[in-house]
Amino acid sequence: MVLVEASGMGDFRRLLVVLAVILAAYASLSGCYRGPDPVQYAALAVVDGKATAVVALCGRSTSHLSVFQDDNNSADTEFRYWAVTVTVPSPAQAVDVELLGAERAGWLITSGHDDSPGPTGLHSRVLGSFDPGHHYTLNASKGGPEGTSAPMVSFTTEDFARIGEGQVLAPIDYHKLDVVSRESFVKGACAKKGPGAG
């Protein structure tokens, strides 16, 4: 049995397939950037004498943040860190999180000791204090489109004295930090101008 196709019907089908492929490609590319940029910025404040992360939530209600000792010592066999997931009751512009603080309502501390070496050969230890002579890094970035992330905040205990009331040590870019007002940090981060923008 031989099927005879009407003239021009094959061209029409090919056109439909091409149009469907173009529409699918457009939808998938435009879908990558819908909604707010999920990158989250953090800055370092000192509140009542305690190191505190100020996280620009920008209308979100959850933040995952960590702080770790970052001495860049190749002989070190331990990774010292403190990590927490903070959930606020309703979406907010910013949240203050006392670093190394005890668990409280809305907090889930996710750091812990692990005696088995991870893939890097380091043993995980909970960071319990900020000590002079060490470097630390604060990270609250949540990955954005195409793998983007916010700059982290590197600091030492000497930086605490630089940060006044209502101020934060904020990343200006991936290589520079500056002390700015808390308000301008949150406003700039939520406006997607970057941290510290005023």
In this prediction the pTM is 0.74
**What's residue 172's pLDDT?**
86
**What's residue 28's pLDDT?**
41
pLDDT above 50 for 70: yes
Residue 35 pLDDT level (bands cut at 50, 70, 90)? very low
**What's residue 146's pLDDT?**
64
CB 43 within 8 A of CB 65: no
pLDDT above 70 for 156: yes
Average pLDDT, integer, range 1-8 = 48
Average pLDDT, integer, range 79-95 = 93
Closest CA to 163 of 72, 99, 109, 118: 99
**What's residue 143's pLDDT?**
66
